[in-house]
Structure 1
Amino acid sequence: MAERQVNRYAENVLTCSENQQYRGEMVLDDSALVRIISGELKMVHGDRHYTFGAGDTFLFPRNQLSTMMKNGKDGKPYKAVIMRLTTAYLRDYYTKNEVLLEPAHSPEMLCFDKTPLLDSFFASIFPYFELDNQLPEKLVQIKMEEAIEILRSINPHIDRVLSDFSEAGKINLADFMEKNYMFNIPLEKFSHLTGRSLTTFKRDFKKAFQTSPQRWLTRKRLELAHYQLSEQQRKPVDVYYETGFENLSHFSRAFKSHFGYTPTALLQGK
């Protein structure tokens, strides 16, 4: 069972624990600095795959789609500590500090090598989960500034992610969907991320693809799954979720309906 612990006295710091395997999509409103304590996290972000284990640290940028798979490892459950770097605070920070690089409007996830600076930072926020009174706002700001200064010192390109304050505007729908169709999120989320109302999204989608979003998404996901099964020799259990299906049985039924044979039959040479 998943457990997400947020101390109401220090809301910018939280832990996430999973005693069982978890899979899901994620889009964050704020950038997040994440340290894996135990277990394993696999993520699909754009066309890249990441695997994080105990001791790994990465920055997850705001307004970016990812698929995550959390698992226990070495007899320990998945557990991570997250520091939210709020957009409001980052705006304030960058009005007072020079931005070294232009923001990237499609920022990538950034991974960091092990360093005493990050180790000491996370060690300093663990006690926040024991608080029984409000963490002063000034200290919240100090810890966020400390995190930013550490990141800027160890990664000269970090400003491209942290100083990107762009909001979801109306973007090229066809390009966005071709890059993100494998993410199993509601149409409402797709419409928001392309800067449209749901009604406008469906109308623009029909103009771009001459079919409904549901039909197009199913076809694209099945074609991707077929490629991974036939060309990469992957197993159905390893493919269905990464290609946008909620469970294996639904994937198998849709696959057979579309291609005329099951995923297993494909691997066995039909």
Structure 2
Amino acid sequence: MILKHQHFDLLQKTVLERMVFNPPLKANGSMHDEACFLYVVNGNSTLYGPTKKDSLQTNEGVVMKCGSYLNSWSKNENDSPSEAVAIHFYPEVLKHVYQDKIPDFLVQKKPQTSKNVEKVQIDQMIKTFVDSLLFYFENPSLINEELIILKVKELILLLVNTDNSDRIRSILQDLFNPEEYQFKDIIQTNLFEDLSIDDLAVLTSMSVSSFKRKFKEVFDDSPAHYIKSRRLEKAAELLLISQSRVTDICYDCGFSDIGHFSKSFAAKYGKSPSEYREKQLS
């Protein structure tokens, strides 16, 4: 449940954003002509990109360039709300911020990075920057266009001077060139994650109906049947080659409910997971 959502805009686009919410929560979106810096003020999440995932915890941040993402926020141990801030970068906004004189480090050509997400080394300067944003979100009457421009410039300078500045610079130079991923690669990368068909459609930047049609074309099967079959096959394999508990295997194979997993496994193999392991190993 969203408890608080605030944003400050430039050129009718959200540039500075804050969200406070009660997890668990899944947030998804496609950044077709933007990139952003995401900072976790409080909480923990798994950020899924087209071909990789990253874990984020309190006081951690990432730079994300164009692409489709799904951010799955987990419940906090102390049941506290989660909180995150995001600073969005758009080509037209940056041109406005720099008065059409974009700094060289944003436009110089370098070999394209293969990463669409880069973890940022958070230092005290960035923490202080985030604290200053939170102050303005608590006192929104103080914010104006000049301050928004200053905060954008300040963040960019901080990002290109972090310990992993080379990789950050490389991503900044390529922020507005979305990477093309093969449909099949996205599915295979995320096959055993706890993601629904709707979630996978988001990562492929498709509507659910278009996703299902494309899936049938590529795999000659429906998404639901193919994904469940592959997950059950992996579970059967893990039951024989690992000592992991059935519950752990259930979650490792992308199932979120042990009861549903056991029922599906028995329907396919004629035995419960425990009985299957015992029978095969006896």
Structure exhibiting the larger radius of gyration computed from Cα positions: 2
- Cα 1:110/1:197, change in 2 over 3 Å: closer
Where does residue 136 of structure 1 map in the other structure? 144
Where does residue 81 of structure 1 map in the other structure? 84
Residue from 267, 271, 275 that aligns with 1:257: 267
State the identity %.
18
- Cα 1:108/1:168, change in 2 over 3 Å: closer
Write the distance in 1 (CA, Å) between the matches of 2:275 and 2:101.
59
- Do structure 1's residue 16 and structure 2's residue 16 form an aligned pair? no
Where does residue 153 of structure 2 map in the other structure? 145
Alignment length, in residue pairs?
263
Where does residue 36 of structure 1 map in the other structure? 40
Q: Deviations over 1:173-219 (max 9, x none)?
A: 323322233452445962x6546666665444334322222221222
5+ residue gaps, structure 1, are none
2:66, 2:116 within 8 Å by CA — same for their partners in 1?
no
2:94, 2:102 within 8 Å by CA — same for their partners in 1?
no
- Cα 1:110/1:253, change in 2 over 3 Å: same
Q: Which amino acid aligns with 2:150?
A: I
Where does residue 215 of structure 1 map in the other structure? 225
Residue from 55, 60, 78 that aligns with 1:56: 60
Q: Which amino acid aligns with 1:7?
A: Q
Q: Secondary structure at the match of 2:167?
A: coil
1:34, 1:80 within 8 Å by CA — same for their partners in 2?
no
- Cα 1:204/1:153, change in 2 over 3 Å: same
TM-score of the two chains, using structure 2 as the length reference: 0.70
2:62, 2:118 within 8 Å by CA — same for their partners in 1?
yes
- Cα 1:132/1:113, change in 2 over 3 Å: closer
Write the distance in 1 (CA, Å) between the matches of 2:167 and 2:142.
34
- Cα 1:58/1:168, change in 2 over 3 Å: closer
Q: Secondary structure at the match of 1:54?
A: coil
Q: Which amino acid aligns with 1:96?
A: I
Where does residue 2 of structure 2 map in the other structure? 3
CA RMSD of aligned residues (A): 3.9
Residue from 114, 138, 142 that aligns with 2:122: 114
Write the distance in 1 (CA, Å) between the matches of 2:154 and 2:6.
20
- Cα 1:15/1:207, change in 2 over 3 Å: closer
- Cα 1:213/1:116, change in 2 over 3 Å: same
- Do structure 1's residue 206 and structure 2's residue 216 form an aligned pair? yes
Where does residue 165 of structure 1 map in the other structure? 176
Q: Secondary structure at the match of 1:82?
A: strand
Q: Secondary structure at the match of 1:153?
A: coil
Write the distance in 1 (CA, Å) between the matches of 2:64 and 2:251.
21
